[in-house]
Structures are given as C-alpha cells and as structure tokens.
Amino acid sequence: MTLRSLAPLLLLVVLDAQAQTPESFLKMVPQLPQASSYCPDCGGGAEVAVRERFQTEVRATVNKMDEILAPMDQRLKDALKKAEQQMAAEMGAQAGVAGGKKKVSSKERQEMADQALKAQFGANAPSAQEMKAMSKEERRAWAMSQAGGAVAGGASDPAKYQKMGQRYQDMAKGSERLTQIQAQLRSRAEAYGAKQEALNREYRELAKPAGRDYSSGGSSGCEERRKACRALLPKMTALARQRLEEIKGEIALWKEVEDIQARQVGLDKAPVPGFLAMKAIRRYLDALPTTFTFS
C-alpha cells in the first residue's frame, strides 16, 4: 500500500488518542469515489484495487467507530439507569413512600409514579400510564391546567403548584419538540434512501444489454456495466456528499434531542453529549459500501 492509501488509516490512529466528537467522526469519513477508474474494467486490473481500497477504508473506519461508541453507549445506559432510579426515589418521597430501596422494579416505579401524581394533584389526577397514553395536545392541555388551576381553586400554596404545573408543561413541550425533530430526521433519511434506490434502478436498466440483465455479476455484459457505472458514479457521489452535508447540519438537532431526553429523566444535561450524532455518522458510513457497489 502507498503512503497515500495509508493516510485514512493513520488518521484513525491519531484520532484514537483524542476526545471524540461528531466533528472528529466527520474527519474519519474516507474520500468518496470520484474517478471513473472505480468502475469495472472487465479485466480485473487496477480498478479492482481502487474499489477494494475504498471498501477496506470504510470497513476499518466503521470498526474504529464501533470501538469508540461501545463504551460511550455503556456510559449512557448507566447514567440513564441511575437517573431513573433517582427519579423513582424522588417520586416515592413525594408520595410518602418509605424505604428508599436502591433497586426498584418496573411495577414499583409505576405505583410510585401514580402515588406521586395523586399526592401532588389530588385523587383525580391521571395515572402515569394514562399520562403516557395521552396525545401531546392532551398532555399539554393538562399541564397548562395545573399551572393555573391551583390558584383558581384556592390552593394553600399556589406558588408551589404553579411551579409543578410549569414543570409538567415544560415536559409536554419537550415531548412535542422531540416528536418534531425525530420526524424531520426520519424524513431526511428516508428521502436519501429513496434517491439511492432510484439511482440503483437506473443503473440496473443501463447495465442490461440486449434485454438481458447481467447487472448481478459475471463477465457477460461487463461493458454495459462499466458504462452504467461511469454514468451513475458522479450522481451517486453527489448524492452521498449531499447527505453528508445534511448530517453535518443535523448535529445540532441530535444535540437538542439529547438535551430533551436528559431533562425528561431529571438530568440537567446530556450524560454523553454528541453520542447520537456520532451514531448517525456511523450509520451513514456503514451504508457506503452498498451505495457504491457497481459489479
């Protein structure tokens, strides 16, 4: 291998010793295929080496990302579990539940959540399960009612109940915003996949000589496959580059998702910032080998 071909792998070694962020993950993405030499040459020459080098770089990068993400994923799970236990303990204290067990079962958490809601908002308060089943509009309306209802009802400590109501209102707004962001991210990913499939269909049509489909491999029809690859490679590269730019712009959205999810379990900030954006970059890179398969 030449020094130039080793450059992406050497970069992985350098980045391994640095703090990992979405931006550092972006630097790990190999250069996308651009030259027509990436396409089949029907003789198994230098073009095969070009394709294999690209595939090797992608696989090595994905493996390195997995090594980095695995302990981050565990840290996130541990932090969320701890926050969930803390929230359960607080709900139990608010509801007058004694004991303070460190390990709380799912059923016990449900019961404590129900008791906490009733302790704070009266016997007619919805259960935690009923709250979960509410639509975002229903949750928001209920939360807003808690912010002002206590004053109208002559509560002994209206300021306290206003604060509680505001907290639930903020949680409802956070859930609504989370749904919006997730829908936006999902829509972009699906649009990218649809464009990929459209280009793949175009390639298969161009690679079909004399009405026979040789696009699945073999020596027959190689010239047609080479022409189809040369015609589609610039389009596929442009699409992949466009998607990468979209992902760069989505880093802020993923951060917002992390912040909302953290607040919903009682944390002030995301326990592993940047993790979701880094996973998105990893998913993009993992799909590249199939994106640039011309055989």
pTM > 0.75? no
CA distances in angstroms from 35 to 47, 86, 165, 271, listed in the order given:
10, 56, 60, 43
- CA gyration radius for the chain? 27
Lowest mean pLDDT among 60-64, 77-81, 198-202, 288-292: 288-292
Each residue's pLDDT tens digit, 63-115:
999 999 999 999 999 998 888 777 766 655 555 554 445 555 666 666 666 66
| Two tokens, residue 3 | 């020094």
Distance CA 154, CA 142 (A): 18
Higher pLDDT, 208 or 10: 208
Greater confidence (14 vs 115) lies with: 115
The predicted-structure confidence for 119-137, as pLDDT tens digits, reads as follows 555 556 666 667 666 665 6
Query: Rounded mean pLDDT of the chain?
Result: 76
pLDDT tops 50 at residue 9 = no
Count of C-beta atoms within a 10 Å radius of residue 151 = 13
pLDDT tens by residue, 37-62: 788 777 656 667 788 888 899 999 99
CA dihedral (130, 135, 138, 142) in degrees, to 10, reads 50
Residue range 268-280: average pLDDT? 95
Determine the pLDDT at residue 102. 52
pLDDT at 270 over 50: yes
Asked if 141 and 176 count as a contact pair (C-beta separation under 8 A), the reply is no
pLDDT at 167 over 80: no
Exposure class string for 190-225: b at 16+ Cβ within 10 A, else e: eebeeebeebbeebbebbbbeeeebbeeeeebbebb
Q: Is 33:53 a contact under the CB 8 Å cutoff?
A: no
